[in-house]
Amino acid sequence: MPEHDRPDRPLLALTGASKSFGAVDALRDVSLDLHPGEVHALVGENGAGKSTLVKILAGVHQPDEGVLTLDGDRLSLTGPAGARAAGIAVIYQEPTLFPDLSVAENIFMGRQPLRSLRRIDGRLMRHQAEELFARLGVHLDPDRPARGLSIADQQLVEIAKALSFDARVLVMDEPTAALSGVEVERLFSVVRSLRDAGAAILFISHRFDEVFALCQRITVMRDGRRVSTDPAGELDVAELVRRMVGREISQLFPKTESSPGEVVLDVRGLTRHGVFDEVSFQVRSGEIVALAGLVGAGRSEVVRAVFGVDRYDAGEVSVGGVRVPGGRPSAAIAVGMALVPEDRRQQGLVMELSIERNATLTRRWSLSRYGLLGPGVERRAAAQWLRRLQVKAGRSTDPVSTLSGGNQQKVVLAKWLSTTPKLLIVDEPTRGIDVGTKAEVHRLMSQLAAEGVAVVMVSSELPEVLGMADRVLVMHEGRLVREISRADADEESVMLAATGQASPGSEPAR
């Protein structure tokens, strides 16, 4: 909604909010207003205070100071139920659905329509779910079990649930972090329709392209304070970065030049029927090679096969001249490979275990004597890498689930870097983490390459690919279609190749 068309009075306003946890000031004198018919972005580094602010709006936390108003009337939230009753719905990055219940049952959990003798009216519940999806312009079967739904569809179920509460304020916390481009656009279409219907939407994202595509105003936070609130049209990415982290955007990609050495990874004719076909490439010590392409091109599947997580039907993988048998990650680790997976929570960490135990999982046998770990062994072994990667944590004995996304990513890196790998494969290394932490991860990757480690990076973020890669290998529909040098790589050449078009100035992949 244009600035001059927006109603003067906000639908929801938080004024002068402060919140402390012990000696830590999470929020200090923060004000935010959300207007009907507007998508308002909230951006900032991890630790800037965004999550605390969201939890205040959700009724999870109560501010130590400050006033929350709805339609101009003071609002006191004593819990999430109070927020929902007030028409405030929060949709988190990771939906929390009951997998064994149907979509309709998840939407109306605890509020199912009843018929005589207090029996659930399944037909009416199904009909109401269909009406909600019709309002959203999407097609989902209300009888389908939630188990197996894509993250995108789970997000839509959460939005339908919010509508069923007659939510007028929608808070979306990193809703697109695990979505493909097509899924993101579908979600954006739904958000725009809700905005046009008069909802006030707070949108939190680390993806600047999404912020500028969807939002009318942008609030920047840093160190628990509100830095600024401005119309999106008056800002650009470089200015946002400066306000968020106090650094220029060029500092996000601290690339150290290095000279490639001997071939470390040699992949020849790797094929998995129906997924990828005849993939061949080499990676040398001291270079960063990026696998680029659209979602579904087969990039993650190739690196998983290289590492032995998935089996392949034909081809071979060699590291340092030693052939690595397929389907055996232990063999890959033995020859000096390391894989930082795309999904750090499900595949990279054991969330219930401590930070130090996660950081030493790959070295437990080498650290033990007769299968037993002595007192303090894990702590001392983990401390070196946790210190080098500047992991921000209370105690290393705390569960890794207590860390921010960026610090969790650093623990996954610590786990693998402690093995002193020859080849480091990183799949979406900075997904879902803030720009400041991105710069730290990029600096580490560049430093490792300078020390002679061969790095393979899968990334869906073109600025990251162009900023960090010495060579770009572009995949399209399961095939490696182009190899582009750092000097020749730009957004146009990569995207043309990724979409199957001719790419001037680039060479076919060999």
**Chain-wide mean pLDDT for the chain?**
86
pLDDT score, position 7: 52
**Domain residue ranges in the chain:** 3-97+149-246, 263-498
pLDDT score, position 510: 53
Assign 315 a pLDDT band (cuts: 50, 70, 90). very high
Pick 390 or 261 by higher pLDDT: 261
pLDDT score, position 46: 65
User: What would the pLDDT profile of 442-488 be if each residue is shown by its tens digit?
Assistant: 888 999 999 999 999 999 888 889 899 999 999 998 999 999 999 99
Q: Same fold for the domain at 3-97+149-246 and the one at 263-498?
A: yes
Assign 475 to helix, strand or coil. Answer: strand
Angle at 409 between CA 405 and CA 412, to 5 degrees: 140
Extract long-range pairs of 344-347: CB within 8 Å, 24+ residues apart.
344/405, 344/408, 344/409, 344/412, 345/94, 345/408
Assign 257 a pLDDT band (cuts: 50, 70, 90). confident
- Of 258-267, 375-384, 414-423, the range with the lowest mean pLDDT is 375-384
Joined together, the tokens standing for residue 321 give: 């001249």
CATH code of the domain made up of 3-97+149-246: 3.40.50.300
Classify residue 209 as left (phi > 0), alpha (psi -120 to 50) or beta: alpha
pLDDT score, position 223: 80
pLDDT score, position 368: 67
* Backbone phi, psi, residue 155, to 5°: -60, -40
User: What would the pLDDT profile of 9-68 be if each residue is shown by its tens digit?
Assistant: 899 999 999 998 876 688 999 999 999 999 999 998 766 888 899 999 999 999 999 999
pTM value is: 0.59
3-state secondary structure 16-32: EEEEEECCEEEEEEEEE
pLDDT score, position 45: 73
Q: What is the DSSP string of 46-108?
A: TTSSHHHHHHHHTTSS--SEEEEEETTEE----SHHHHHHTTEEEE-SS----TTSBHHHHHT
Pick 163 or 436 by higher pLDDT: 163
Q: What percent of the chain has pLDDT over 70?
A: 91
Pick 368 or 237 by higher pLDDT: 237
pLDDT score, position 2: 47
Q: What is the DSSP string of 112-157?
A: --B-GGG-B-HHHHHHHHHHHHHHHT----TTSBSTT--HHHHHHH
- Of 62-71, 367-376, 416-425, the range with the lowest mean pLDDT is 367-376
455, 458, 460, 466 alpha-carbon torsion, rounded to 10°: 30
In this predicted structure, the answer to whether residue 509 has a pLDDT above a threshold of 80 is no
Pick 121 or 14 by higher pLDDT: 14
In this predicted structure, the answer to whether residue 209 has a pLDDT above a threshold of 80 is yes
pLDDT score, position 503: 46
pLDDT score, position 242: 81
- Of 197-201, 369-373, 378-382, 387-391, the range with the lowest mean pLDDT is 369-373
In this predicted structure, the answer to whether residue 247 has a pLDDT above a threshold of 80 is no
- Taking a C-beta distance cutoff of 8 angstroms, is the pair 102, 143 a contact? yes
pLDDT score, position 248: 59
Pick 450 or 439 by higher pLDDT: 450
Q: Which CATH number fits domain 263-498: 1.10.3430.10, 3.40.640.10, 3.40.50.300, 3.40.190.10?
A: 3.40.50.300
